[in-house]
Amino acid sequence: MLENGLEHKKAVFDMRKSKRRSSLIKKILVAIVLLIALIALLFFIEHYPGALDLLTKKPKMYPVQDRCSIILNRLLHQIKDEGECRIACRNECEIRSEKFDSSEFVEKENSCNICNCYCK
């Protein structure tokens, strides 16, 4: 009976020791993966310095003119809605060799519409 009690305690102790080892191994593996990711990020920044500019760079605003005219007593717009403003903005950013970020369209009743482009 005494031997069974000692064997049981030894088995429980070995099991706890095994769990500690497995937990320690998991922590070491996580640390290694994080270290590799950090080294990869530093390597990427070193060899491609302009790659992160798109994330940190603030967009520049460029207004696109809506060329409107009066024909037969009606005001006709070149940029009529948000969709046409977005297309004009994508083209404007491409001409400037920049990335399109967003567009802002303001419809005017008795005047030319406003279309602002934001490029990075």
Q: Are 90 and 62 in contact (CB under 8 A)?
A: no
Taking only the tens place, the pLDDT of each residue in 54-105 is: 667 789 999 999 988 988 888 899 999 999 999 999 999 999 999 999 999 9
Give me 120's structure tokens.
Answer: 């990075």
Residue pair 91/37 in contact (Cβ under 8 Å)? The answer is no
Supply the pLDDT for residue 87: 96
Q: Looking up tokens 């005219």, which residue turns up?
A: 69
Q: Which residue has the higher pLDDT, 1 or 28?
A: 28
pLDDT > 90 fraction of the chain, expressed in percent and rounded: 48
Q: How many other CB atoms sit within 10 Å of the CB of residue 71?
A: 8
Cβ atoms within 10 A of the Cβ of 59, count? 15
> Which residues make Cβ contacts (< 8 Å) with residue 13, sequence separation at least 6?
none
Q: Specify the pTM.
A: 0.55
Burial of 9 (0-12, 13-18, 19+ CB in 10 A): exposed
